[in-house]
Amino acid sequence: MNLDHLVILVRELESAVEDYEELGFTVTPGGEHADGLTRNALIPFSDGTYLELVAFTDPQDTRDNVWGWRAFAGSGGGLIDHCLTSGDLSRDVRRLREAGLSVDGPDEGGRRLPDGSEIRWSSARVRQRGRSLPFLIEDLTPKDKRVPDAVHHPNGTSGIVRLRISASDSDIDAYASLIATPEPDGALRIGSCTLDLELPHPGEDAKIGPFAATLKAVAGTGELDSSLSHGASLWFG
């Protein structure tokens, strides 16, 4: 498996696109998901990963999508989810269930591109004690239709090198099962991205999940302006 993308939920997609462009990213149009509930824009990197800016098409609609993102809308969104690429989703779902993990799916999904064409994929959500872990995706149409080719970013970003995740002890074991072959030094890496799994502070179980990411860039170091990143904790490092 490899890290596929990070999901950043925003209230209004057009303003988020403008703000991320101000941060030095080149943002490409995405489209509307097949369920009609969300639409997105993408920030693709040369390491094969990308940031997905996503917004609900109707903020007043209470229906949720298959990934359960509606629950984050009331808190303003930000970095809410992460996705891993699977080359054989049925095999991976079977392996994870045999390891004792709960997996929802696979379910088919898709998105209509701005030119009217459609792309399709299959996805599955991994759960641990009722909490959501990463979701997995396998492309049914060519991946280069879902994810545009990497583009030049004025800030020099070329990939995602570190993802910080708030996780319980049992979640850490689950991540090890997901990755299947942890590094000899005990670190957990998905492709070129290192996962930092951190125990939550007492009383913060509700915050379990990804909460910060470090991007490989040439624009210096430090945290990006959170008002422009729409609440996502992103760092250049």
pLDDT for the residue numbered 129 = 72
pLDDT for the residue numbered 93 = 95
Query: Does residue 205 surpass a pLDDT of 60?
Result: no
pLDDT for the residue numbered 114 = 87
Higher pLDDT, 202 or 75: 75
Query: Does residue 203 surpass a pLDDT of 70?
Result: no
The mean per-residue pLDDT over the stretch 31-37 comes to 93
pLDDT for the residue numbered 179 = 80
**Rounded to an integer, what distance in angstroms lies between the CA atom of residue 31 and that of residue 42?**
9
Write the pLDDT tens digit of every residue in 42-56: 999 999 999 999 999
Extract the tokens encoding 87: 């080359």
Question: What percentage of the chain reaches a pLDDT higher than 90?
Answer: 65
The mean per-residue pLDDT over the stretch 62-66 comes to 89
Q: Exposure pattern of 184-216 as b/e (b: 16+ CB <10 Å)?
A: eeeebbbbebbbebeebeeeeeeebbbbbbbbb
Of 118-122, 192-196, 216-220, the range with the lowest mean pLDDT is: 216-220
Q: Exposure pattern of 13-39 as b/e (b: 16+ CB <10 Å)?
A: beebbebbeebbbbbbebbbbbeebbb
Map out the domains of the chain as residue ranges: 2-236
Q: In CATH, which superfamily holds the domain spanning 2-236?
A: 2,3-Dihydroxybiphenyl 1,2-Dioxygenase, domain 1 (3.10.180.10)
- Residues 6 or more apart whose CB falls under 8 angstroms from that of 121 comprise 108, 109, 110, 137, 138, 139, 140, 141, 146
Write the pLDDT tens digit of every residue in 138-196: 999 999 999 988 889 999 999 999 999 988 888 888 888 888 666 777 678 888 899 99
**Rounded to an integer, what distance in angstroms lies between the CA atom of residue 178 and that of residue 134?**
9
Question: Are 96 and 179 within 8 A, CB to CB?
Answer: no
Give the strands of the sheet with 159-166, arranged side by side: 188-190, 193-198, 159-166, 209-216, 234-236, 222-223
Extract the tokens encoding 124: 């599955």
pLDDT band at 125 (very low <50, low <70, confident <90, very high): very high
The mean per-residue pLDDT over the stretch 82-109 comes to 93
The mean per-residue pLDDT over the stretch 108-125 comes to 93
Of 21-35, 55-69, 138-152, 198-212, the range with the lowest mean pLDDT is: 198-212
pLDDT for the residue numbered 111 = 94
